[in-house]
Chain A
């Protein structure tokens, strides 16, 4: 269940930022400037059957302005068609239309800051390739909305050609983002691509290297969750064990009587086994029934996160809420685990009956 969430989270994030693999000029990742871009026409420098799409980008910074307002923005020169396969940018349009050949897409937060509508013209100035001056006017054709505030406040999309001529960076790219059909082969594809890129001065990186924070936060969350669950299991196990110990101790005398008057230990064990089973089953069912309304409440009223955690969530493109699942599979799985724990611990009463000494038991 938790694992599923992570896969989804990785997929979302990876798609949005870097792809499973990224190709850059040697040095670009350390210093993300246009001078560290590479010659890359629209032709694909590598081939591999696992690659779904390779998305070229030319990314840099600019100062944008409209009316009397200005703001620093991230300019992304993109291939609209391929970009939509990777990031589904075309699905994020809230006003206007998707990018075709001319004009710009701007993020919704930025648009509202600049008080800019579809049809208005955005002015941008920047420093281009090798320090040339860059200036340009770009009519806004559409507005896109991102859940991540950082992106929503400062993203501008141009076609690759327009971005190149704006920055004076003809034929250059800052990155290729590679999307794979099957993320599990990432490492293997990376090795093959590495071979193909040998001697070109290009470097291929996987998402784990490009986004160590994501890996960290997932691991933290994952192991944190795991530890939490084991602690809970341990607590529950102690509770159950305590109950069984009580149940056995309290009835030692009774068992002693039964053995004395001639009830075979095997029969007593069978009787107690049934009790243990029914007790466990009943306990688990009761647990499910009791937790259901609580879970339902949190499902309908999710906990809204605040502070650092909220920022972290937003950074990776999620709403800062802690989702609760009503998936019956969770009840089923957890129920089975607890039942299993209970039945394993149920060995204790069996053993103590087996070892029961009736004379001692009768003295209790």
Chain B
């Protein structure tokens, strides 16, 4: 069961290298295994977002490397990397980021459409996920007609749709009230078990941290603690 899906080696990110350099991530060696439910925590500005962006191939490290499954993503060209994200990485953003003109269900199907899945598969998978998210009744509504918590559940469904190797969520609950936070965490945790989906999320929120099964603490771009429970 312990098979690394992410491996970073001496990962370093320096912003503004020519002006006033900001070392956002400093020599991070991190291994994430299949099926983890991991929180990245730390004070504001410690580098959580930067780390997730590097792992997700959205940003390019200054030094070091990121390996996802067997692929060194630093060696992919831009279009290949985009394709790689589409196939292997799910994203959940702080502000939901659903496509406003599509219904909840269509938002989930959209990513599968990009992957050229056929209609039957799309419909089956999106219905299944909507059901699991407890969104069955609301699945034909557009994002504007959904609460923040519901929208974020759709975003999780979208991230899961293509059965990615892992899901990156940067402060997924930052905009949610405590009740919605709890229900989102429950759903994520259930998906972690039912679909064996790997979750890596950043957070400030103690209730979220409590649910995590591994907590990595960053300070000034360095890992200062890494505890499993």
Q: A140 to nearest B CB, angstroms?
A: 82
Once A358-B58, A359-B53, A359-B59 are accepted as A-B contacts, the answer to whether A259 and B93 lie under 8 Å apart by CB is: no
Q: Are A266 and B79 in contact (CB under 8 A)?
A: yes
Q: What number of A-B contacts does a CB cutoff of 8 Å give?
A: 45
Interface of chain B, helix or strand or loop or mixed?
helix
Once A257-B93, A257-B97, A359-B53 are accepted as A-B contacts, the answer to whether A263 and B82 lie under 8 Å apart by CB is: yes
8 Å CB contacts to B: which residues of A251-275?
253-254, 257, 259-267
Distance A362 CA – B79 CA, assembled complex (angstroms): 18
Chain A residues lying within 8 Å of B83, measured Cβ to Cβ, are 262, 264
Query: Nearest residue in A to B164 (C-beta to C-beta)?
Result: A262
Distance A257 CA – B111 CA, assembled complex (angstroms): 12
Distance A266 CA – B114 CA, assembled complex (angstroms): 12
Once A359-B53, A359-B58, A359-B59 are accepted as A-B contacts, the answer to whether A262 and B85 lie under 8 Å apart by CB is: yes
Interface of chain A, helix or strand or loop or mixed?
helix
Chain B residues lying within 8 Å of A358, measured Cβ to Cβ, are 58
Q: B76 to nearest A CB, angstroms?
A: 13
Q: B117 to nearest A CB, angstroms?
A: 13
Once A359-B58, A359-B59 are accepted as A-B contacts, the answer to whether A261 and B79 lie under 8 Å apart by CB is: no
User: Interface size class for chain B?
Assistant: 20 to 34
Once A265-B79, A265-B82, A362-B93 are accepted as A-B contacts, the answer to whether A260 and B114 lie under 8 Å apart by CB is: no
Distance A359 CA – B99 CA, assembled complex (angstroms): 18
Query: Nearest residue in A to B94 (C-beta to C-beta)?
Result: A362
Q: Are A263 and B86 in contact (CB under 8 A)?
A: yes
Distance A257 CA – B56 CA, assembled complex (angstroms): 13
Q: Is B158 an interface residue (CB 8 A)?
A: yes
Q: B92 to nearest A CB, angstroms?
A: 10
Q: Are A264 and B58 in contact (CB under 8 A)?
A: no
8 Å CB contacts to A: which residues of B76-127?
78-79, 82-87, 89, 91, 93, 97, 99, 111, 114-115
8 Å CB contacts to B: which residues of A208-267?
253-254, 257, 259-267
Distance A358 CA – B93 CA, assembled complex (angstroms): 13
Q: A264 to nearest B CB, angstroms?
A: 5
Q: Are B79 and A260 in contact (CB under 8 A)?
A: no
Q: Which of A253, A257, A261 contacts B86, CB < 8 Å?
A: A261
Chain A residues lying within 8 Å of B59, measured Cβ to Cβ, are 359
Distance A266 CA – B77 CA, assembled complex (angstroms): 14
Chain B residues lying within 8 Å of A260, measured Cβ to Cβ, are 56, 58, 85, 91, 93
Chain A residues lying within 8 Å of B87, measured Cβ to Cβ, are 262
Identify the A interface with B (CB < 8 A): 253-254, 257, 259-267, 358-359, 362
Contacts A/B (CB < 8 Å), 11 sampled: A259-B82, A260-B93, A261-B91, A261-B114, A262-B89, A262-B114, A263-B86, A265-B82, A267-B114, A359-B53, A359-B59
